[in-house]
Structures are given as structure tokens and as C-alpha cells.
Amino acid sequence: MRQLLCLLVATVTALPALAEQKGPLVVVLDPGHGGPPPHDGAHGARGRHEKAIALQVAQKTRQMLEQQGATVILTRDSDEHVPLADRVRIANEAGADVFVSIHCNAMETREDRKVTRGVETYFLSPDPTDAEAKMLAQLENGGPEAVPLPKANDAVTGILNDLALGQARNDSAALAQIVQQHMVRGTTSPSRGVRQAPFLVLSGTRMPSVLVEIGFISHPREGRLLVGDKYQAKVARALASGVTDFAERVLARRLIAQAKPPASAEPPRVQAASPVASPSGTR
């Protein structure tokens, strides 16, 4: 009983130490696109540009996350072209806990532009949810000609099979759910759901990663809202609270789970060091 108590005390006192070791939450925000065509992303009416809105929202989100004590890195902080591979490298080298790529959606036809609006959050999967998700991934990846969709047995499949990345992949689905909930609640824009697609920018990151389509710049009302400071702040608040909610609910749970092994790992360590474990051992 006393042993159990000691173990409990050891486990509980180990928690703050672990939390300290971990340091502040590191978030990499990735404003989609940037720079001259063909890297400038989608366009809406009246000079509404996806790349500009994505950057403004990322900067506002950074400010809100920093106020909560997080360390935030942007993959770009100006209107410049940053290749997808560099965005991935920035996130991995930063040892980020969470990666969020920020984009705006747009419809092609006049009819669709009038009626389609809403928020959707993606996590990486080699199998797109549907034809629409597949097409969107092609666009965000740089067009169907520029970057072919991943085929079986290629790099993406390899990454998905990598056990070390398995947890990050599972957590990406949870991150997508949580961010989507916060986005819909915070903006009151319709939910288009959590979806899966083979986005290249999500394929190499070694941490829970999502791509958020924060709204349609092609929609008359949503497009107007998206360029405004007030709505952008709403979106940023939703993204920031989604990330911190995920950190508390999913990453903190992992932190507690990590605290358990020292207690159960104790006996094997004693065994290995003690000659009693060996049949021919002498005192």
C-alpha cells in the first residue's frame, strides 16, 4: 500500500516536470499561397485574394495564440512564394506540436458562386472524401498538371505506414474535428464538414496537421466578410481556441499517458540491474 502511495506521489509529482520539459505549445500557421501567379491562390470579386486573407488571418491568429503563451511561427509573413516543401520543413524543424494551413475556397461557375459558402477542415488522407475533395487538393497542390495526386506506394503511403507518424495522423483527425467545431461556432458560417484529401502540404509534417478552408471568397456575402477585420478576428479567435482546445484535450491527455511508464518501467530496470534476476547470480 505504501509502495502504491509512493508510486502515485512519484507519478503526480512527475507531471509538472514533464509539462515544464515540454515547454510552451509550438504552433506553425501556414497562410496558403503567396507571391505572383501561379502561386497567388483563388480570387473573389473586387480584388479579394485568398493569399492576402490567409496571411491576415494567420497574423491575427498568431497574436491570439501568443497572448495565451504559445510559441507561433508563420511559414510566410509577407506576400512571398514559399514552396510547399519549405512549409513542411519549417514546421518539422520548429518541432511544432500543431500545424494549421489556412486557405479560402472559391467556386468556378456564376451559379455556384452565388450559393456556396461555409467552412471545411481537411486532414491528410491518400483517399479523398469525394471528387470535390480530390479537385480541391489538386488546386491547393498547384493544379492537376503541376503536381500529380499521390499514387499507391509513393511517399505519402510510406509516411502513412510509418509507425512514428501514426499517432500524428490519428491526432490530425481529432484536430480537424475540434477546429471545425470552433470555426462553425465562432463564425456561424455553415459547416461543410471534416473531410479528407491528399494535400501535399500535410503529407510531410510530423505533427497533427490540418488544412482549414475558412470560407468562400467567391460568395457575395462571405467574400465581403472575409476581407473585413472584424470577421477575420472571429476566424482567428476560432482557430486559436480550436488549437488550444485540442492541446488541452488531446495533447495533455498524451502528457498524462506519458507520465505512467516510469512507474511500470521501474521493475524491469531493477531486475536488469540486480544479480537476483540471473539464475547463477550470487549475493
Q: Which stretch binds Zn ion (CB under 5 A): 29-37, 57-65, 161-169, 257-265?
A: 29-37
Residue entry with cell 509573413: 77
Cα-Cα end-to-end distance for the chain: 28
In the complex with Zn ion, the residue whose CB is nearer, 79 or 245, is: 79
Give the torsion sign (CA, 240, 242, 243, 247): positive
Q: How far is the CB of 167 from Zn ion (least distance, A)?
A: 27
Contacting residue, 140, 180, 231, 238, with Zn ion by CB under 5 A: 140
- Residue span binding Zn ion (CB under 5 A) among the ranges 73-81, 102-110, 216-224, 228-236: 102-110
171-188 in b/e form (b: 16+ CB < 10 A) is bbbbbbbbbbbbbbebbe
Q: Other CB atoms closer than 10 Å to residue 19's CB: what's the count? A: 12
Radius of gyration of the chain (CA): 22
Q: How far is the CB of 199 from Zn ion (least distance, A)?
A: 10
The sign of the CA dihedral 246, 251, 252, 254 is positive
- Nearer CB in complex with Zn ion: 41/150: 41
Figure out which of the listed residues 31, 34, 41, 215 binds Zn ion, where binding follows CB under 5 A. Answer: 41
Residue from 48, 51, 103, 192 in contact with Zn ion (CB under 5 A): 103
31 touches Zn ion by CB under 5 A? no
Give the SS3 label for residue 210.
Answer: strand
Which H, E and C letters describe 52-65, residue by residue?
HHHHHHHHHHHHHH
Shortest CB 66 distance to Zn ion, Å: 24
Supply the minimum distance, in Å, between the C-beta of residue 21 and Zn ion: 36
Q: How many residues bind Zn ion (CB under 5 A)?
A: 4
Q: Which residue is nearest to Zn ion (CB)?
A: 103
Q: Interface with Zn ion by CB under 5 A: which residues?
A: 32, 41, 103, 140
